[in-house]
Structure 1
Amino acid sequence: MEGPVIPLGDGYEARPISFGAYRDACARLEGRIFGGNWLYAFGPPAKPPPPLGETFQWGLYHGEDLIGWHHAHQQGERTVYMADTGILPEHQGRGLYSRLLPHVLAVYRQAGYTLVQSHHRATNNRVIIPKLRAGFFLQGLNLYEGGLNVALTLSLDETYRGAMHVRSGFRQAVGETARRLGLNVVDLGEAPAATMPRVPMPETGGEGLDLGYGYTLHRVATDIYRDVYARLEDAAYSSVSFDWAATEQVATPEVPRWNWLIAHGGEVAGWQSSKQWDARTAMMSNTAFLPRHRGKGLYTRLLPFVLDALKAEGYSLVRSHHHATNNAVLIPKLRAGFRIQGLQTDEHGVMAVLIHAFDPVYRDYMDARSGLTRPRGEVARRLGLDLGEDEA
């Protein structure tokens, strides 16, 4: 492969290598890099692998020491597949993956690819987070010999990127995206700028919790939260939900709820509502910030307060659902320790299901289920596995 040498800082760089050199590096180092994963051993393959098409390989070096690699190959007429990236454990946690990504993506764009795809263990947040930050979207889950994988796709075409938002229900179909989807959407021209409503912060009888930069968090009664929500819902959301076109026929069961309003300058800036999901799980069911208060790190600063409150109530797990392409929420959730656990389609669209476990044993269990780690110790015991002394 022809390609540039990529400086990564701190004495690291990525150098183009041949496919043969990449395979040799795998044979020598993959045990040290991936030895803790949990794979199913199929045995020798019965068929030769299909041809890879165009390939891309870089060796990752620290000085003159090979400490990892990146390999990708063509997959179809418009897709390049990021098939394998490995870094020795002693060089992980230094931001190498995040620094490498924009460089290799630029190479794939220049080579003429439209889509970049990859798969990762569903609980491997150390890789999933930089991928989402680089613009990849969660596109699916698959169960394979290595465990449970998430499928990620980056569109280098902005129109198709818009179509992914439409599919998830996060955005409405307009313009060229609508045309490519076969929708004859009436062009109403440039809509006048909407006047954002301003709702005074209700009296809560306290100063609230400090979220920084003039923002405070206040626990409120459910009726107050619902009143504010009804007044600001249209201003807070641009997603597209299914209209049931009928009132609810069955009364919603009453469950414990926790409602907070976020205040700024004496006005409501956003809200968070959680409720009981089952005997050991709380559900973060609704969080929103008005547009003028977004992009200020509020969600990241809010999360610890909500999680601490739900943990204090005795819940073991916290669940949440988000549009699969809503990276602005998925990234802080994953950083806070949530794990991707599923995808579901409901009236709001295609939703990612996230779970946060307060119990470290259950967090290890999720890693074992995804194949990121082998079941050992207490996890193995709770799964009823009678392991030998070398694995227990």
Structure 2
Amino acid sequence: MTTLGDGYEARPISLEAYREACTRLEGRIFGGNWGYAFDPPVKAPPPLGESFQWGLFHGDDLIGWHHAHQRDERTVYMADTGVLPEHQGKGLYSRLLPHVLAVYRDAGYTLVSSHHRATNNRVLVPKLRAGFFIQGLNLYEGGLNAALTLSLDGTYREAMHVRSGFRPAAGEAARRLGLHLQPGAGEDGQEAPRVPMPETDGEGLDLGDGYTLWRVPYAVYRDVYARLEASAYASVSFDWASPAPLAGPDVPRYVWLIAHAGEVAGWQLSRQWDARTAYMVNTAFLPRHRGKGLYTRLLPAVLDALKAGGYSLVRSHHHATNNAVLIPKLRAGFRLQGLQVDEHGVMAVLIYPFHPVYRDYMDVRSGLTRPQDEVARRLGLSPLTPEEEAT
């Protein structure tokens, strides 16, 4: 038995007890999801392998469960976690995760995998905080799923960063990937140069702890960026070996510098993407200013400015293993919409909708919710009522 606080406990249960609980309660837990109704299967399921089940209890009442089973010789698959609606929003998932992950580690597994609907931030955020990385997207009978993997092996975790382009290959991870270690790779770089904050007009926005946000012309940003780029990023991008042959699009740009003690601490650049969308191109904080919650405090100011500019959506791309940025973005309401490979590596594509109906639409597309009300009307859908589905 594991105490989860506030009167909640996780108790081991049998596979049969888990299946009985699913039959009895899954309609209440997952009834709002939108899936495809297959005909009954004609094939028997494959052997399950080693499995793990916990019942989640509040007092003597079973209010949820967690089930996982062996996927292969290295991987355990977190197949199903459910909590009754009246017990959701209490942090149970975050409190349960360390317990089950410790069990999987002790059982000898190297990898822990799971799938979740791509817009289900209430699950994605605690998973990323626990160290899972986004590994892919797949379209299945339940909708659009995000595939997550946690490496319980630190070296493989570093290799995942190398694969995404977020970090250079170094040490044992480089050897396991069959790479020669480049001179200087993995070594701590020199401290970033201290660049005085350029003169600015108007009044900066207070971000707390002595940090202020200033709107600046694009040319000022380019000068600062050229001086500090090497200090702000450790990622590995493709070397085009020649300047871009064409000029960039002439679109509106929105640029801010972050100041601290009279010096540049970081920046943010956004620009128009299309007729409805703004693109958050580039955000960086110098190493000595990281880990202070600045990204979380910066986001509302940038989103407010882009909304005032008339945009309906905000787009951004981030290395798929850069959880330090993905977590605050998802917590702010961005939704995972895809993965792409570009010159910077394997990038997660995020979208933030200002319009609540479009936000609901994204949940419908992922299968997290059923089409209804205004979303159904805009999609030209007439879903069955629960009574009609029952018949």
The answer, yes or no, to whether TM exceeds 0.5 is yes
Q: 1:6: how far off?
A: 1.1
Question: What are the residue-to-residue correspondences of 1:7-18 with 2, within 5 Å?
Answer: 7-18=3-14
- Alignment correspondent of 1:137: 133
CA distance in 2, matches of 1:204, 1:186: 41
Which residue, out of 76, 79, 82, partners 1:86?
Answer: 82
Conserved 8 A contact 1:175-1:187: no
Q: 2:319 aligned with 1:323, yes or no?
A: yes
CA separation of 1:166 and 1:263: change in aligned 2, threshold 3 A: same
Give the CA deviation at 1:339.
0.1
Find the partner of 2:244 among 213, 232, 248: 248
1: CA distance between counterparts of 2:382 and 2:21? Answer: 35
Structure 1 residue 386 and structure 2 residue 382: aligned?
yes
> Aligned partners of 1:111 and 1:58: how far apart in 2?
16
Aligned-residue sequence identity (percent) comes to 79
Which one-letter code corresponds to 2:208 in the other structure?
Answer: G
Q: Are positions 1:290 and 2:286 aligned together?
A: yes
State whether structure 2 residue 94 is matched by structure 1 residue 102. no
For structure 1, which segment, 194-203 or 64-73, has the greater mean C-alpha deviation from structure 2 after superposition? 194-203
Q: Structure 1 residues 371, 107: closer, same or farther in 2, change over 3 A?
A: same
- Displacement of 1:192 in angstroms is 6.5
**Gap change, CA 1:284 and 1:193, over 3 Å in 2:** closer
Contact 2:170 2:185 in 1 (8 A): no
Aligned length: 388
* Aligned with residue 117 of structure 2, among 108, 117, 121: 121
> What RMSD in Å do the two structures reach over aligned CA positions?
1.4
Aligned equivalents of 2:18, 2:188: Cα separation in 1: 55
Q: Confirm or deny that 1:196 pairs with 2:226.
A: no
Asked whether the 8 Å contact 1:120–1:149 carries over to 2, the reply is yes
Counterpart pick for 1:38 among 23, 27, 34? 34
Q: 1:25 to 1:271 in 2, by over 3 A?
A: same
Change (3 A) 1:218 1:187: closer
Please say which of residues 197-206 and 90-99 is displaced more in the overlay.
Answer: 197-206
Q: Deviations over 1:48-104 (max 9, x none)?
A: 111111000000000000000000000100100000000000000000000000000
Give, in whole Å, the separation in 1 of the partners of 2:294 and 2:254.
18
Does 1:209 find its partner at 2:205? yes
The aligned counterpart of 1:56 is: 52
Q: Where in structure 1 are there 5+ consecutive unaligned residues?
A: none
Give the drift of 1:253. 1.6
Matched, 1:27 2:27: no
- TM-score calculated relative to the size of structure 2: 0.97
Residues 1:267 and 2:263 aligned together: yes
Q: 1:156 corresponds to which residue?
A: 152
How has the CA–CA distance of structure 1 residues 387 and 107 changed in structure 2, closer, same or farther, with 3 Å as cutoff? closer
TM-score (norm 1): 0.97
